[in-house]
Amino acid sequence: MGLRVRQFGQIGHKVVNVETVNVETPVLSCPDPNFKLLIYPFEHHLELSKHRSSIAHYQKMQAIASQTRVAPVGVAQRTVNVNKASAFMGAPVGHRSLGIAKPLAKSQQQVSGRSLSMQVYAVKDGTSLDRPLRVAVIGGGPSGACAAETLAQGGVEAFLIERKMDNCKPCGGAIPICMVEEFDLPMEIIDRRVTKMKMISPSNVEVDVGKTLNDKEWIGMCRREVFDDYLRNRAKGFGASLINGLFLRMDKNGDGPITIHYNNYEDGSKVGVPTTLEVDMVIGADGANSRVAKEIDAGEADYAIAFQERIRISDDKMEYYKDLAEMYVGDDVSPDFYGWVFPKYDHVAVGTGTVVNKTAIKQYQQATRDRAKVKTEGGTIIRVEAHPIPEHPRPKRFEGRVALVGDAAGYVTKCSGEGIYFAAKSGRMCAEAIVEGSAKGTKMTGEASIRNYLDKWDKKYWLTYKVLDILQKVFYRSNPAREAFVELCSSTYVQKMTFDSYLYKTVVPGNPIDDAKLLVETVGGLLRSNALRTGKGVEVSFASTRET
């Protein structure tokens, strides 16, 4: 009795693909822990195929088959078409290789005029594994590093693939204080504590915000090259495999294992060595230009282009900015965002962003520099950087066993342009759902865990994104509206509410009387500034509902 089947699987990082095999034993599994043989002949009179691909393949499979053992009970089974060589043998252990058990129609079972069928055991979600669940995390920024750390801590085998280990992500580097405690960040990676903030209106009216902060409250300023490096190495310390490589593409072999193709730079090569890796799940944490998102056709979402210059200024000028951040609003600095001066380690970062008129970004940058000129003049530009900032969650944030997190998913908030905390948090939440769904890496899991992460995410943050979207549309729409916005920021109540929700990422219940006063002040301010009579009507939208 013989049976032609296709074999693929993995030994270490090497993918084995054997086309032809003679299977003699009814229910088999491979002794190699990286393999599981999940096939047995349904009919006992099958003949050995005439189309064996090569003697070498045949012998290799014979060698594996001779050491086989009985597969564990409790796996799902499905009838498949032998002719299409779609019977998988040796998929990575415990892999959900063929999904839901469903027999094919009789007509689909014709092989060379004969009806052949066999049953393939597919490991369903929830089936116990005899090796840990394997997850590749693409991108080692805050989202990827935090995902890999949580996976590794939770018993999952995590591979963190980062193309550039000393990457200096163009970023203001501002983080809320709650992140320090929540992500257990050491103070060494935080260069400065901002306790004062100035909102500066189109007519240069300055309002000091931050008056409500107590002496334990501040906004952290960090250098991303330091910050990301710390998080990546911490993930490694918890057992994640940190790989210096450029992700290229992936093959999603039906419901079988996902093959990651990447260029490995580990040996110091600049070009990289083409390498493959087979995993059960993939987390795309590769930023706004995500290749993983493209691989799953996640769709495009609006993005802003942000431009930033790092300027080294004299010590006395730096003294002014040592604990102060400035935000400039006005048509001159951006039609739909704000310009900023943020203090960094030994210099300031001056930047701006826009969605609606990207080609004019340099003109807006010049205007931001001009507005801050007195305080930064004489400085030397030490770095110029530009990068997209996603404006919306992508239309689709997952497909099957591939999920997106951080900028790859589109999780930057409108109005403030904040993304570091949300990146780290989404990476962690996605990983937590996988750890939970896989019972700490001991069981197969996939889409259900990803849906669990997305449900929790949307429940927790949908309102935050929505409110900031509305604020941006109302207050950044014209110079009169911006004047009203800055005026509003002088309210102690507004400052408290804003800082509390930024610093602690919780929606703090307000005082109903103050809320009513705030509403009156807002409408009054907008009317005084003639804000509502200019520009287009307010259109507010959130993520598309097209997600599967």
Ligand X SMILES: Cc1cc2nc3c(=O)[nH]c(=O)nc-3n(C[C@H](O)[C@H](O)[C@H](O)COP(=O)(O)OP(=O)(O)OC[C@H]3O[C@@H](n4cnc5c(N)ncnc54)[C@H](O)[C@@H]3O)c2cc1C
Closest approach of Cβ 419 to ligand X, in Å?
A: 2
Closer residue to ligand X in complex, CB, 272/510: 272
The size of the interface with ligand X (CB under 6 A), counted in residues, is 39
Q: What's the closest the beta carbon of residue 512 comes to ligand X, in angstroms?
A: 31
Nearest Cα to Cα of residue 95 among 241, 249, 255, 259:
255
Nearest to 310 by CA among 347, 283, 281, 276: 347
250 binds ligand X (CB under 6 A): no
Position 143 contacts ligand X (CB under 6 A): yes
Q: Report if residue 154 touches ligand X, rule: CB under 6 A.
A: no
Cα–Cα distance measured from residue 109 to residue 158, given in angstroms and rounded to the nearest whole number: 39
- 141 interacts with ligand X by CB under 6 A: yes
Nearer to ligand X, 63 or 271 (CB): 271
Q: Does 142 bind ligand X (CB under 6 A)?
A: yes
Task: Number of helices (H) and strands (E) in the chain: give both, helices first.
Answer: 14, 26
Q: Is 282 a residue that touches ligand X (CB under 6 A)?
A: no
Residue 420 touches ligand X, criterion: CB under 6 A: yes
Q: What is the smallest separation between the CB atom of 262 and ligand X, expressed in angstroms?
A: 7
Q: Smallest distance from the beta carbon of 321 to ligand X, in angstroms?
A: 15
Q: Site for ligand X (CB under 6 A): which residue of 114, 164, 362, 440? A: 164
- Closest CB to ligand X among residues 70, 356: 356
Cα distance between residue 112 and residue 32, in whole Å: 34
Using CB under 6 A as the binding rule, whether residue 423 contacts ligand X is answered as yes
Minimum Å distance from CB 399 to ligand X?
17
Q: Counting contacts by CB under 6 A, is residue 144 touching ligand X? A: yes
Q: Which CB atom, from 97 or from 244, has the smaller least distance to ligand X?
A: 244
Contact 186, 271 (CB under 8 A): no
Per CB under 6 A, the segment of 22-30, 167-175, 293-301, 376-384 that binds ligand X is 167-175
What lies within 8 Å, CB to CB, of 519 at 6+ separation is: none
How far is the CA of 394 from the CAs of 34, 252, 403, 465, 546, in angstroms? 35, 21, 12, 13, 9
220 touches ligand X by CB under 6 A: no
Least spacing, CB of residue 306 vs ligand X, in Å: 3
Separation between Cα atoms, residue 221 and residue 45, nearest integer Å = 71
Name the token pair of 162.
Answer: 């980062």
Residues 80, 161, 361, 430: which binds ligand X (CB under 6 A)?
161
- Residue 150: CB minimum distance to ligand X, A: 14
Residue 419 interacts with ligand X (CB under 6 A): yes or no: yes
Binding mask 286-305 for ligand X (x = CB under 6 A): xx---x--------------
The verdict on 393 binding ligand X (CB under 6 A) reads no
CA dist 355 → 352, 370, 415, 546 (Å) = 11, 21, 12, 22
- DSSP character for 334? -
Answer for the pair 305, 361: CB distance below 8 angstroms, yes or no. Answer: yes
Cα–Cα distances (Å) from 131 to 35, 281, 443, 453, in that order, read 10, 14, 9, 24
238 vs 502, which CB is nearer to ligand X? 502
Structure tokens at 328: 């400039």
| Dist CA 20 CA 3 (whole Å) | 8
Residue in this structure with the two tokens 């400065």, named with its chain if needed: 192
Q: Tell whether residue 148 is a contact of ligand X (CB under 6 A).
A: no
Contact residues toward ligand X (CB under 6 A) are 138-144, 161-164, 167, 169-174, 246-247, 285-287, 291, 306, 308, 351, 387, 389, 406-408, 412, 417-421, 423
